[in-house]
Amino acid sequence: MKTGAHHFKPGKILDALGAIQNSLTRSSQRIAVYVQSEPAKVTQLSLSELSSLTQAGEATIIRFCRTLGYKGFQDFKMDLAIEVATRSSNEESLLDADVQDADSAQAIASRLQSAINNVLTETINLLSLENVEQVAKQMRSADRICIFGLGTSGITAEDAKSKLMRIGLRVDAATNNHFMYMQASLMQPGDVAIGISHSGTSHETVHALKLAKETGAITVALTHNMGSRLTEVADYVLINGNRQGQLQGDSIATKIAQLFVLDLIYALLVKADPIQAEKIKRKTTQAISQNNTN
């Protein structure tokens, strides 16, 4: 059920390298960084040339290509060449340039728009849509859904709870580690636990998902980091994009990528039973819009 080393098609290789980087060995990381910085050049290199440029053995390079689902370096190079050729010239995110003090609000708005477009493209490239469909199916039949997240991931968890509750799902969001642990330990087989952590290394979220897994609940990781500790305790892994450029702090693009994945699940749940979803949505909307006169 987990996303394994599946074959990354042209157009998805450079995005995939960003997502698997933290789970690679040190020498493989050097190869990944080099490929990301010089993709066009790599398509022209021989195995031995890349080996000396990255100080990584030829066997390590072949293993690296296999991690991405290729038989060897030649196969990898062919797909990388297609990706390089088809990347649009405006692909370079405007956000990769630092925001200058003199920039107008209009210029900054354009950069943010570009960052959001890029992160959504990257998310679609990295997401296993089969996993998304499976998660929606499991959530549809679950008695209870718990979403775990700390900090800004907690805000995403609360947002998802609000949307899912409006279509009648029994869902809760835990954004404090003590509540996360208590809720996780009370889950039952058939329940669904979703852990949100952009880095995939949040100790509290990893522990909560592990506790949920021990109860027999179905576990889902929403993260950018393939091969992170969060993915190790997940039955289903959903990868979101990460193109943040140089803007510091909690990136709006990352946030939107997380919300996008959860919105995709929401849309699939509505599609599964649109009449029921509409009926419950009307009921919940009425409940919160009625003016209490007493």
- The number of CA neighbours under 13 Å toward the Cβ of 171 is 23
Contact (Cβ atoms closer than 8 angstroms) between residue 96 and residue 246: yes
Residues 166 and 278 in one domain: yes
Average pLDDT over residues 55-67: 92
Report if residue 96 sits inside a domain: no
Of the pLDDT bands very low, low, confident and very high (cuts 50, 70, 90), residue 22 is confident
Q: Which residue spans within the chain are E strands per DSSP?
A: 145-148, 171-174, 192-196, 218-223, 236-239
Nearest in space to 189 (alpha carbons), one of 208, 170, 214, 223: 214
* pTM greater than 0.85 (yes/no): no
For residues 151 and 281, membership in a common domain is answered with yes
Does residue 119 lie within any of the structural domains? no
Radius of gyration of the chain (CA): 21
Residues 149 and 285 in one domain: yes
Quick check: is 215 in a domain? yes
Angle at which helices 105-126 and 252-272 cross, to 10°: 50
Q: What is the pLDDT of residue 199?
A: 85
pLDDT score at 24: 87
Alpha helix stretches (DSSP H) within 68-104: 73-86
Indicate whether 25 and 160 sit together in one domain.
Answer: no
How much of the chain exceeds pLDDT 70, in percent?
Answer: 87
pLDDT of residue 247: 39
Q: Give residue 279's domain range.
A: 129-289
123-149 tens-digit pLDDT: 998 899 999 999 999 999 999 999 999
State residue 137's pLDDT score: 96
Decide if 282 is inside a domain: yes
Which 3 state secondary structure label does DSSP give 45?
coil
In a domain, 104, yes or no: no
Same domain, 145 and 234: yes
Q: What's the pLDDT tens digit per position in 199-230?
A: 888 999 999 999 999 999 999 999 988 888 99
Residues 138 and 279 in one domain: yes
Distance of CA 16 to the CA centre of its chain: 11
If you write DSSP's letter for every residue of 175-206 in order, what string do you get?
-SHHHHHHHHHT--TT-EEEEE-SSS--HHHH
Q: Are residues 78 and 136 in the same domain?
A: no
> Does 179 share its domain with 38?
no
Domain count for the chain: 2
Last residue of a domain, one of 56, 86, 116: 86
CA atoms within 13 A on the CB side of 262: 25
Answer whether residue 98 is part of any domain.
no
Q: What CATH number is given to the structural domain containing 65?
A: 1.10.10.10
User: What's the CATH code of the domain at 156?
Assistant: 3.40.50.10490
Examine the domain organization and report whether 81 and 135 are in the same domain: no
Chain segment 95-114, per-residue pLDDT in tens: 444 555 567 888 888 888 88
- Is 4 within a domain? no
DSSP codes joined into one string, 109-146: HHHHHHHHHHHHHHHHHH--HHHHHHHHHHHHH-S-EE
Instruction: Sort residue 263 into left (φ over 0), alpha (ψ -120 to 50) or beta.
Output: alpha
Average pLDDT, the chain: 86
Q: Which of 51, 68, 86 is the last residue of a domain?
A: 86
Say yes or no to pLDDT of 243 above 70.
no
The half-sphere exposure of 132 on its side-chain side, counting CA atoms within 13 A, is 19
Structure confidence by residue, pLDDT tens digits, 158-201: 999 999 999 999 999 999 999 999 999 999 999 999 999 988 88
- Distance, in Å, from the CA atom of 143 to the CA atom of 10, rounded to the nearest integer, reads 40
In a domain, 58, yes or no: yes
User: Is 228 in the same domain as 151?
Assistant: yes
How far apart are alpha carbons 222 and 237 in whole angstroms? 6
Q: Which of 62, 86, 110 is the last residue of a domain?
A: 86
Judge if 145 and 275 occupy the same domain: yes
